[in-house]
Amino acid sequence: MSQNLAIAADEREYPVENPVIPYLRQERIPHIWCPGCGIGTTVNCFARALTESKRDLDQVAIVSGIGCTGRVAGYLNLDSFHTTHGRAIPFATGLKLSNPKLKVVVYSGDGDLFAIGGNHFVHAARRNMDLTVICVNNFTYGMTGGQLAPTTPIGASQTTMPYGNFENPFNLPFLADACGAVYVARWTVFHVKQLTRAMHEAISKPGFTFVEVLAPCPTLYSRRNKLGDGVDQVKYYKERSVVKHGAATKEVALGFQGDIVVGKFVDRERETWLDGMNAHFEKVLGPRYRRYGE
């Protein structure tokens, strides 16, 4: 599947292998994201995480909801599903239960996953459904015009909250942890190596795993809040991030342009929903029961 790129230099050609290319649907490029948007960087990290995982790509499916991040599924060269707004997790749950051997990854934005889709996130984590959820958090609804999101920090301005937000936002790692996720990490698009590793760990671990990625939306969130362009935001991530592996998730809430606690916060073992169901019916039905999905 791989293909070589050739770069002309000094009248010679040096073949350069780009490890991400096999994971992208070349016919869909160029993508729709704005210059300086952080979503593309997360896709690069995810493709590298897939490379490192050495997974059979026929056994990986990706499910997105609606929004700028929801377009990720359309660009990845996997079995991809672009679902309705907020419904990526229930769709992914059905996919996983119909074919338990699949690795199913939900890849979507903060608005899609935690506003209209919030209820689904809570229950999938509670059940320890065997899914990986990657949330690109840019604190806003990008595609629809920069409205207030459930993650917008207090004080930040949005088109629907022009005098600054006064609502308490979600602390996503705390929410995931409290609901029972077995792996919870947060990084930014500045931390490409750590993010790649976290994505790799998340897709390698059975159960409900969650990675939050902070990414700039220069077109709407940054411009409205006078935060500069995408590069300025990445500089801010670099300067204000504090790595605290194992930090208590209730302590990692984000303020408006404050310090950012990043790291791997949760890594624990719990019975997955499917293992729990099989154990339950074995107990109730005895040898008549044939374990599902094995």
By CB under 6 A, is residue 189 in contact with ligand SF4? Answer: no
Out of 218, 237, 262, 263, the only residue in the binding site for ligand SF4 (CB under 6 A) is: 218
Nearer to ligand SF4, 32 or 248 (CB): 32
Looking from the CA of 5 toward its CB, the CA atoms found within 13 Å total 10
Q: Can you tell me the distance from the alpha carbon of 170 to that of 175, in angstroms, rounded to the nearest whole number?
A: 7
The least distance separating ligand SF4 from the CB of residue 112, rounded to whole angstroms, comes to 12
Among 63, 217, 227, 254, binds ligand SF4 (CB under 6 A): 217
In sequence order, the β-bridge partners of residue 80 are 62
Interface with ligand SF4, residue 227, by CB under 6 A:
no
Query: Of the candidates 23, 39, 95, 113, which one interacts with ligand SF4 according to CB under 6 A?
Result: 39
Report how many residues bind ligand SF4 under the rule CB under 6 A: 12
d(CA 181, CA 121): 10
Instruction: Determine, following the binding rule CB under 6 A, whether residue 219 of this chain makes contact with ligand SF4.
Output: yes
Q: Does 102 bind ligand SF4 (CB under 6 A)?
A: no
The CA-to-CA distance between both ends of the chain, in Å, stands at 30
With CB under 6 A as the contact rule, the residue among 37, 47, 185, 274 that binds ligand SF4 is 37
Quick one: 143 or 178, whose CB is closer to ligand SF4?
143
Q: To the nearest whole angstrom, how small is the minimum distance from the Cβ of residue 227 to ligand SF4?
A: 12
Helix (H) or strand (E) holding 29: none
Give the span between the Cα atoms of 27 and 16, in whole angstroms: 20
Does position 138 interact with ligand SF4 (CB under 6 A)? The reply is yes
Among 100-108, 122-130, 215-223, 250-258, the segment contacting ligand SF4 (CB under 6 A): 215-223
C-alpha to C-alpha distances, 233 to 140, 202, 220, 224, nearest whole angstrom: 15, 26, 13, 13
Stretch of 30-38, 77-85, 155-163, 164-172 lying at the interface with ligand SF4 (CB under 6 A): 30-38
Candidates 111-119, 192-200, 211-219, 261-269: pick the segment binding ligand SF4 (CB under 6 A).
211-219
Which of the ranges 3-11, 76-84, 117-125, 138-146 carries the binding residues for ligand SF4, by CB under 6 A?
A: 138-146
To ligand SF4, the closest distance from the beta carbon of 266 in angstroms equals 27
Nearer to ligand SF4 among residue 71 and residue 197 (C-beta): 71
What is the torsion angle, in degrees rounded to the nearest 10, for the CA atoms of residue 31, residue 35, residue 36 and residue 42?
A: 0
User: Whole-angstrom Cα distance, residue 78 to residue 102?
Assistant: 12
Confirm if 135 and 214 have CB atoms less than 8 A apart: no
Q: How far is the CB of 215 from ligand SF4 (least distance, A)?
A: 7
Q: Pick one of 142, 150, 180, 207: the residue that binds ligand SF4 (CB under 6 A).
A: 142
Q: How far apart are CA 157 and CA 136, in angstroms?
A: 19
Tell me which residues touch ligand SF4 (CB under 6 A).
33-34, 37, 39, 68, 138, 142-143, 217-220
